[in-house]
Each structure stands twice: as structure tokens, then as C-alpha cells.
Amino acid sequence: MFKTYMYPNLHLMLQRHIPLKSLNTFGFDVEASLFLPIADEEILHNVWKTNLLSMSSPLILGGGSNILFKDNYPGLILQNLIAGMQVAKETENHIWLRCGGGEVWHNVVMYTIQNNWGGLENMSLIPGTIGASPIQNIGAYGAELKDVFEELEAFDMLYGKMVTLRADDCAFAYRDSLFKQNGKGRYFITYVTLRLNKNPSVNVKYGDIANILEQWGISKPGIADVSRAVIHIRRSKLPDPAELGNCGSFFKNPVVSKEVADTLCATYPDAKRFDQPDGTAKLAAGWLIEKAGWKGYRRGDAGVHEKQALVMVNYGNATGAEILSLAGEIVEDIQAKFQVNLEMEVNTR
């Protein structure tokens, strides 16, 4: 049973030994030694005045949708609960929407759809909070966060002050950013501002979006139609974490040289590749995993989803170590069979 206590003189409502099962979408039955909800910037300043950040290995937790706990977390977890959405700026053609880092990403998407502000519709139903979205540079169906990102505000836990970072500062790349590299663990993202289009045009070129819209008899789709199609596709392919523990796509789609892609496609004409502007090619990790025979594989309660090979699942009582071990075997097998290196999207702790 966890206990709550006040940190001396600073009004910090710390919790000890809090269970994290409901706070990670894999549903791992682990706990945090220390846990502190963050609802505003003042709490962050107060934390920095203590020795907690330097002595307790702080981990920032959003929706818990991209994290794999190998065991109990021995340090301090800071949960981002900063809420709020407001228009920060408006012109004839654009809206700048400032969102609290604790807001659920899909709720923000739905808010923009309701107001007919374009830019997020292809990223409907991505799990997690908006504060975590810059970390992964999240994306789906031909869209990425960087396409609509204006700036973010964050608490710099190294120097104890608020900073504002724009796109160039964040070093966005495919499922990557400053926050997974040199800035890992340094910034607590409090607000994200998005630049959205008041006269949106839709992108239906990626995946099955166009086919779904055609099946529905929609010839001139708006952003609400695209969002609905993306939600339909995601729900048909990806398991609901409330029913089957998972974190969505577990692996990145590997980016390889043209020569590697040409060799693979010469051997496997059905291989899925997406040529990139810089001459490289992105391969479909799900295709590689399925082709290697791992789709639907299960070992105990750890497995690969039967409908989407990109998704590792917890059938009930798997541990993070068991999921990670199975993922490691898959990486080794893909390397041996195709000479392609798979990288995990998920953060391990």
C-alpha cells in the first residue's frame, strides 16, 4: 500500500510505492518508489529546490503508452497533468493552439476537428499525451508532429528554469528528437503550441485511407472524414490497450540505403518500401517481422499481435523483461534473415 507524505516546507505531495499497472499501457504490475503529479509549473520549481531531482533518477510519465518497465522503478516519477487548450494567435489562414502537456493527444485532435482546423487528422487515435508528442516526433499516415509544430515550453531540470524551444532546437527526425538524444530526461514539457490550417486540405495518399473513403462513398473528404477513416483503420489493426496490454508500434520502420532496399526487393518482390527524398528507403518493419514468421507468435504471456506484427503484446501476466527478451530475438532474426537492423520505438526503464 503506497503512502502520501509532504516534503518538508515545499508543499510537495509525494507518494511512495505507488502501483503503475494502470499508468502503463502494457499493464505491467510494477511500482514507483516515489511519485509526484505535476499540475503546474510552480510544482516543478519547488521540486528543483530540493535534492529530489539529483538523488532519485526522475522519470517523466505522460500516458504511459510508449514505455516498457522491466521492473519496479527505483526513483521518482513525475506525471504530467498540466491541462488546458487555448488559441494563442490567429491570422486569416492559421490558428496557433497552445496545449498543456498533460492533455490527451487524441482529445486535442478531436478538438481541432470540431473547429475545422487542419493538420492533426492523420494522427488521430495515437495514444499518449501532447507533452510526449515532441519526444517521439509522433506520426502516422503521412503526417508527423514536426509538420504542425510551432514551439514548446519546458522546465529545464538541469538549470531549474523555463525555456522555449522551436522546431530547429528540437532536432526532429523520424521518431526521434533532442529529447531522445542529448536532452533525454532533461526537459519537462509543460506546453506545446501547434500551427493549424483554417482552410485545410486533406492527405489521403498514405495507407488505406483512400480505399476506406471510397468504400464509404466519400469522394470529397474533409478532415473529419480522414480522421474517421484513420480511426477505423487503427481500430481494425491495433489492439485496445484496455483489453490487451501493448504500446502500439514497438519497432521503427528501418531506413536503409537504396542498395540494401534494392537487394531485398530483388529477393522479395512483395517487400514494402518507401523511397525517401534523400535517396534512402524506408522499409515496413511489420512486413519484415511477418515474413520472418513472428506474427502471432506467443511465449507464455508475451507475444506478437496476430493482426499487426509491429505490436508486442502482454496477454496478462508477462513481465517487461519477457517482452524485451522476445523483442531482442526478433531483432536478431531480422538481421540474420534480411541484413536489416530493427530499432525499438519503446522506451525501456
Q: Is 42 annotated as catalytic?
A: no
Interatomic CA distance for residues 14 and 45, integer angstroms:
15
Q: Which of 66, 63, 3, 62 is nearest to 31 (CA)?
A: 3
DSSP assignment, residue 177? -
Catalytic residue among 98, 175, 228, 234: 175
Classify residue 131 by burial, with Cβ atoms within 10 Å: 0-12, 13-18, 19+. Answer: buried
Classify residue 269 by burial, with Cβ atoms within 10 Å: 0-12, 13-18, 19+. Answer: exposed
Catalytic residue among 31, 144, 322, 345: 345
Q: Is 249 annotated as catalytic?
A: yes
Q: Residue 83: CB partners within 8 Å, gap ≥ 6?
A: 39, 100, 102, 103
Interatomic CA distance for residues 119 and 200, integer angstroms:
7
Catalytic residue among 195, 249, 322, 349: 249
Q: Is 175 annotated as catalytic?
A: yes
Query: Which residues form the catalytic set?
Result: 175, 249, 345
